[in-house]
Amino acid sequence: MASNRTFTMIKPEAVAAGHAGKILDMIMANGFRVVSLKYTRISHHEAGAFYEVHKERPFYGELVDYMASGPTYVAILEKENAVEDFRKLIGATDPANAEEGTIRKRFAESKAKNAVHGSDSNENALIEGHFFFSTREQH
């Protein structure tokens, strides 16, 4: 089950720019089923915990400030090979390196403000999904 799911966030700058609908449309058009979805704003404390793995990286403070700076859409998605296929759909972290047709190529502003999050492993997809959704909210 877990290997068929991934977790995503539409990040604050993409929401503020009005891109959320188009991004969700691209996600669904590429065969991902929405298991859970909510519109939420995470606190600074929650953003710090969510990105704990990046604590030692130089951009951690900037990343936490940014993710708490405005509302986001957070979602659990389902598809065969979900984690890997979703990473392909979003493209490289830096939009300058993202392939044509990817979400980041189309919508990201910069390496930091890169429109969407995508889990990097099945294990993290599960952890990240449970960070935002109870089992009662996963269908």
Selected from 120, 122, 124, 127, the binder of Mg ion by CB under 5 A is: 120
The CA-atom distances, in angstroms, between 35 and each of 8, 24, 28, 82, 123 are 11, 13, 11, 12, 17
Q: Which does 34 bind (CB under 5 to 8 A by kind): ligand ADP, Mg ion, none?
A: none
What letter does residue 57 receive in the DSSP assignment?
S
CB of 67 to ligand ADP, least distance (A): 8
Which residue number, 21 or 96, has a Cβ lying nearer to Mg ion? 96
117 is an active site residue: yes
Q: Where along the sequence are the contacts to ligand ADP (CB under 6 A)?
A: 54, 59, 62-63, 93, 111-112, 114, 117, 120
Which residues are 27's β-sheet partners?
none
Nearest to 35 by CA among 139, 115, 132: 139
What is the closest distance, in whole angstroms, from the C-beta atom of residue 11 to ligand ADP in the complex?
Answer: 7
Nearest to ligand ADP of 4, 93 (CB atom): 93
Q: Residues 44, 117, 130, 139: which is the catalytic one? A: 117
Quickly list DSSP for 61-126: HHHHHHHTSS-EEEEEEE-TTHHHHHHHHH--SSGGGPPTTSHHHHH--SSSS-SEEE-SSHHHHH
Is 78 near Mg ion (CB under 5 A)? Answer: no
Residue 84 or 120 having the CB closest to ligand ADP: 120
Question: For Mg ion, how many residues bind (rule: CB under 5 A)?
Answer: 1
Strands 33-40 and 72-78: antiparallel
Which residues form the catalytic set?
117
